[in-house]
Structure 1
Amino acid sequence: QVYPEPQNDDDQRVGFPRVLCVDDQVFNVEALDILLTVCSVNTDVQMHYAYGGQQALMQVEAQSDLNAYQVIFMDCNMPFMDGYQATRRIRQLYQERGLPQPYIAAITGHGEEMYVEIAADAGMNQVIVKPASKKQIDA
């Protein structure tokens, strides 16, 4: 499977929230982008994308402190590094840098209580069950 290349960090609009969407399936990233557009969320934000937990962590590590992500939509089930592991590492990195923690929303096909607890234990703020709805994103 071929994934698009991650974006470089040349989008430096000051004052616009930075959002990272993480999913190993390109279709899911594109669907989330469309949903955010429908919700009018991404008109005033800097959208960035990663196609796996490892790539997300690399993008977060590469950010300067002034360009840290404020919101991360994180798929939970990805190969190599799942969303739970990536979330723990991202939380640790933000803490080490003394940055305000990002809001991390889990994106998963599992809405059962067990998975909600796993997401919370990993440090995720919210669980959005796929397919995500406008109401869930607005929350």
Structure 2
Amino acid sequence: MKNAVMTSPEGEPTSSGGPAPVNAKKRVLVVDDFDDAREMYAEYLEFCGFEVDTARNGLEAVEKAQEGEPDIILMDLSLPVMDGWEATRRIKQDTRTRDIPVMALTGHVLAGNAEHALSVGADEFVAKPCLPQDLENKIRNMLKPSKAKPRSGQE
């Protein structure tokens, strides 16, 4: 089937074996050790048209960021194995992943946490619980071309 034309889930024609369509779904990595929160955010974001992958701890988040190159990462800060602070620091120090925006999410809103999250490389800090539609709006705002950093892999 050379030059076969297929349709995307959105009904847009795509050619098999060709480059991804310009309007390809944005990829979100949701990192949270609390199953209910992770699943709720993932399901809502999929409903909103995002492609979602999940991780349960910071080490898994770093590995998935390197392998899958998501467009944005939602990172809980209180995680097992490796906490979100360290995972964010490692993601931002790696030339392959440093340009991926990281939104830090936490239910522990203590004085200095927002500043600390930003100091390790998070691009945004959000207190949980937050409404899913507010989270979606923040994600879309962070992914706007004027806000998104180019993924050059170079400085």
TM-score, normalised to structure 2's length? 0.66
Distance 1:102 1:115 in 2: 21
Distance 1:53 1:101 in 2: 18
- How do residues 10-89 of structure 1 correspond to structure 2 at under 5 angstroms? 14=21, 15-36=24-45, 41=48, 43=49, 45-63=50-68, 68-89=69-90
Give structure 2 stretches of 5+ with no counterpart. Answer: 1-18, 139-155
Aligned with 1:105 (options 103, 108, 119) = 103
Secondary structure at 1:87 match in 2: helix
Alignment coverage as a number of residue pairs: 117
Distance 1:33 1:22 in 2: 10
Q: Which residue of 2 aligns with 1:115?
A: 113
Paired amino acid for 1:114: G
Secondary structure at 2:104 match in 1: strand
CA 1:117–1:75 in 2, change beyond 3 Å: closer, same or farther?
same
The answer on whether the counterparts of 2:74 and 2:103 sit within 8 Å (CA) in structure 1 is yes
What is the alpha-carbon root mean square deviation over aligned residues?
A: 2.2
Distance 1:35 1:46 in 2: 11
Greater mean alpha carbon deviation, residues 100-109 or residues 12-21 = 12-21
- The Cα shift of 1:111 comes to 2.7
Greater mean alpha carbon deviation, residues 100-109 or residues 77-86 = 100-109
Secondary structure at 1:24 match in 2: coil
Q: Which residue of 2 aligns with 1:135?
A: 134
Bigger proportion of residues as helix:
1
Q: Which residue of 2 aligns with 1:4?
A: none
Q: Which has the larger radius of gyration?
A: 2
TM-score, normalised to structure 1's length? 0.73
The answer on whether the counterparts of 1:72 and 1:102 sit within 8 Å (CA) in structure 2 is yes
Paired amino acid for 1:103: P
Secondary structure at 2:122 match in 1: coil
Secondary structure at 1:123 match in 2: coil
Give structure 1 stretches of 5+ with no counterpart. Answer: 1-11
Relative contact order (alpha carbons < 8 A, sep ≥ 6): 1 or 2 greater? 1
- The Cα shift of 1:13 comes to 5.8
Identity of aligned residues (%): 29
The answer on whether the counterparts of 2:92 and 2:98 sit within 8 Å (CA) in structure 1 is no
Paired amino acid for 1:31: M
The answer on whether the counterparts of 2:42 and 2:54 sit within 8 Å (CA) in structure 1 is no
Distance 1:105 1:112 in 2: 17
